[in-house]
Structure 1
Amino acid sequence: MSKPMLLEEFTRLPPALTVDCVDGLAGAIDSVAGAAAPSHRFLRYGWFAAALKAYGGAARTLTVAREGEPVAALPIVASGPAWAKLVSVPGCYWPFRSFPVREDAGVEAVEALLPRLAREARALRVGPVYDGDPGLELLKEAARAKGWAVLDRFVADSFLLDITAAQGEGPWPRNSTLKKNRFHEKHLGSHGELDWSFVHGADWTDAAFDALAEIEEKSWIADRTDGSDAKFTARGHGGFWRAAAEDPVIARSMWAALLRIDGTPTAFSFDMNAGTLKYAIANSYDPRVAKHSPGKLLYYRNLVRAIEDGITTVDWGAGDSGYKQVIGAEKGPAIRDWLFVRPGIDALAGKLLRSAWKRTGRAEGESAPAKADRVLDAEQSQGGGKEGEGSDN
């Protein structure tokens, strides 16, 4: 009589993976994004649809399902000349450009996707994106194992404010900082009645976006640049954010602190909240009141509210580190641009071009002078920086 097999003696087969590619954006994107890391759950159908609406392009979506459940979704659009067969992930550069994967997705999911990707394109561009990005790390591991060439170029260092660590050293913001802010706020009030408010969720109306655009049109961005980097104007990226807010889930993560003086929009700070993480995306102000530091006053109010809402970390992104380090931010993960070139002669060519690709970026460790991130530095240079602008932090 045969001896019954013990449970541990059975060989467990790997879960079945299926790969699909559809024209347009796949509905599975939302399913994957909903189970992604909290920091990446904004990478929804509406996010990519907003990019297509604002910047153009015809998307295809590669999806990987594990036993019928989507675990990865890679939207792609053609980039460059048609003969190059280069594709990229659509999206917006704020806070980064990536694709969603479920938190429990393994490298095998992306390995399964690569053969179909190779049929669709010679090379895939992902980024700019942070080191450690979940989708990026799986893609790097899978691509290298399958003979793809993997090229990167450095874009910038990010800066992170660890609020929990700062609070561990005593009350934060410090009382001395709040005292200075009250002093500036008193003098700012000489320009009229101050109204501090917040915008998020269902508050994202056309009027709310118009208020932010009005501030940018009066700011140094419009005065010193061609305005293409503005986040909310018609000639900038206003179309993207208005379209993104049509998704109520994304709209709830979009957050603005707004200052009006005598009813006139005067300064804003725009972020995205993702779980306990806040992505600081844009700040702007009316230069007529720059000497009273409206941007700094507004952002400290925003940080105090963030603490109340359970935010523990602020990701300041790239750009000048001056005001960020004054507030307490420290260097975070590097931001890079990546090319994944399919195996064979294309990968060989890609490897030969590795150095040329790197040279199109910045030297490792060199800070990126992101224009829209220079707002508070510009504010200080116009009269608000003499007393230190909260340098006690």
Structure 2
Amino acid sequence: MTKPMPLDAFTRLPPMLAADCVDGLAASIDAVAARAAPTHRFLRYGWFAAALQAYGGAARTLTVTREGEAVVALPMVRTGPGLLGLASVPGCYWPFRSFPVREDAGVEVGETLLARLACEANALRLGPVYDGDPGLELLKAAAAAKGWAVLDRFVADSFLLDIAALQAEGIWPRNSTLRKNRFHEKHLGGHGELDWNFVSGADWDDAAFDALAEVERKSWIAARTDGSDAKFTAEGHGGFWRAASADPVVAEMLWAAVLRVDGAPAAFSFDLNAGALKYAIANSYDPAFGKHSPGKLLYYRNLVRGIEDGIATVDWGAGDSGYKQVIGAERGPAIRDWLFVRPGLPALAGRMLRGAWRRSGHKQPPVTPAEGPGSTGPHTTD
């Protein structure tokens, strides 16, 4: 009788990788997003479709499969003069622009991705995106091995509120803070009946978005700017969020806390909940009630509700750091814009323009020793 061969006599073959690029948004995007890091599972077909609907562009999707299963899906749109062969990742700036990557994707997946990307574009713009983003790290590791030029420019610092750490130190929010809030709520109630409610999932409809837009039209953003940066008005980015909410998975992640005074919307906080992480995307209030801090009252109620729902960290993103630090937020990972330029003459030109690209961004503020490197947030891998 022939003895069976020992296992160590067999050669383990590397997994079969293949890359393909198709016109439009590939259905594989959702399959990859479902197995991405929990913080990135909103990067679904519906998310990118909403961006194309709101901001325009004709997409192509580059997909890498391993043993027949999609492990990364990279939607791209042409950008800039056609002769330059530039592509960018479509999407929304809030909370960031990236693409889905399965958590078990290795550098070999990134190398396969870049090999096919070189056939499709001279350079890819990724961002603004956080340091440590899975898609970013995959491309950086592969680019270093394959001779791609990698350019970055600083956009802003993020700010993170580590609720779990604050609660470990004692009761948070403090009872004294909640008492002050109740005092302000009592006086705010002098303007009319107060109604606090939350919106998510199937609750997202035109009326829900109209309420957020109504607050923005009364807020400082309408009084001091041209309104193009408003998140929910027709003149701003309202088209994107309404379209994104058509995806029921994304709609479940979208979250708003809304305050009404005598039935009229007076303040809101709008977030995207990704597992134990809450992305705080926008908040605003009617200045007619500003004396009683309606925005502050609302986001504390929102945070308390988030704790009840299992939220452990709030990512406040970029922007005004004053009120965020008062709450307890600390500087987190930097947000940057990246260019990946294929080997050869394009990479040579890219390296020559690295300084100009970096100067086109913002100046990065120094990190104090007490703050550390800013790489302890949920997006980082350092």
TM over 0.5: yes
2:6 corresponds to:
6
- What does residue range 283-302 of structure 1 map to in structure 2 within 5 Å? 283-302=283-302
Q: Give the counterpart letter for 1:345 in structure 2.
A: L
Give the CA RMSD over aligned residues. Answer: 1.2
Q: Give the counterpart letter for 1:191 in structure 2.
A: H
Q: Distance in 1 between matches of 2:136 and 2:11?
A: 31
Q: Confirm or deny: 8 A CA contact 1:341 1:350 kept in the other structure.
A: yes
1:50 corresponds to:
50
TM-score by length of 1: 0.92
SS of aligned partner of 1:216? helix
1:80 corresponds to:
80
Q: Give the counterpart letter for 1:108 in structure 2.
A: E
1:214 corresponds to:
214
> Which moves more between the two structures, 3-12 or 14-23?
3-12
Q: Give CA deviations for 1:198-234 in whole Å, capped at 9, x if unaligned.
A: 0000000100000000000010000000101100000
Q: Which runs of 5+ in 2 are unaligned?
A: 368-382
Q: Which runs of 5+ in 1 are unaligned?
A: 368-393
1:257 corresponds to:
257
2:197 corresponds to:
197
1:374 corresponds to:
none
Q: Confirm or deny: 8 A CA contact 1:157 1:366 kept in the other structure.
A: no
Q: Give the counterpart letter for 1:38 in structure 2.
A: P
SS of aligned partner of 2:324? helix
2:244 corresponds to:
244
SS of aligned partner of 2:36? coil
Q: Give CA deviations for 1:112-143 in whole Å, capped at 9, x if unaligned.
A: 11122111111000000000001110100101
Q: Distance in 2 between matches of 1:284 and 1:180?
A: 20
Q: Percent identity?
A: 79
Measured after TM superposition, the shift of residue 107 of structure 1 is 1.1
1:329 corresponds to:
329
Q: Give CA deviations for 1:335-389 in whole Å, capped at 9, x if unaligned.
A: 000000000010000000000000001112279xxxxxxxxxxxxxxxxxxxxxx
Q: Confirm or deny: 8 A CA contact 1:62 1:113 kept in the other structure.
A: yes
Measured after TM superposition, the shift of residue 2 of structure 1 is 9.0
Q: Give CA deviations for 1:279-329 in whole Å, capped at 9, x if unaligned.
A: 000001000000100000000000000000000000000112110110000
Q: Distance in 2 between matches of 1:262 and 1:148?
A: 59
Q: Give the counterpart letter for 1:18 in structure 2.
A: A
Measured after TM superposition, the shift of residue 188 of structure 1 is 0.5
Q: Give the counterpart letter for 1:181 in structure 2.
A: N
2:35 corresponds to:
35
2:117 corresponds to:
117
SS of aligned partner of 2:348? helix
SS of aligned partner of 1:235? coil
Structure 1 residues 366 and 225, CA, compared in 2 at 3 Å: closer, same or farther? farther
Q: Distance in 1 between matches of 2:168 and 2:275?
A: 21
Q: Distance in 1 between matches of 2:366 and 2:326?
A: 19
Q: Distance in 1 between matches of 2:338 and 2:294?
A: 38
- What does residue range 170-181 of structure 1 map to in structure 2 within 5 Å? 170-181=170-181
2:126 corresponds to:
126
Q: Distance in 1 between matches of 2:74 and 2:285?
A: 37
1:273 corresponds to:
273
Q: Confirm or deny: 8 A CA contact 1:19 1:62 kept in the other structure.
A: yes
Q: Distance in 1 between matches of 2:99 and 2:68?
A: 20
Q: Confirm or deny: 8 A CA contact 1:156 1:366 kept in the other structure.
A: no
- What does residue range 149-188 of structure 1 map to in structure 2 within 5 Å? 149-188=149-188
Q: Give CA deviations for 1:240-277 in whole Å, capped at 9, x if unaligned.
A: 00000000000000000000000000100000000000
SS of aligned partner of 1:90? coil
1:364 corresponds to:
364
Q: Confirm or deny: 8 A CA contact 1:125 1:338 kept in the other structure.
A: yes
Q: Give CA deviations for 1:149-181 in whole Å, capped at 9, x if unaligned.
A: 000001111000000000011111000100110
SS of aligned partner of 1:350? helix
Q: How many residues align?
A: 367
Q: Give the counterpart letter for 1:160 in structure 2.
A: L
Q: Give CA deviations for 1:74-97 in whole Å, capped at 9, x if unaligned.
A: 000011111111100000000000
Q: Confirm or deny: 8 A CA contact 1:33 1:102 kept in the other structure.
A: yes
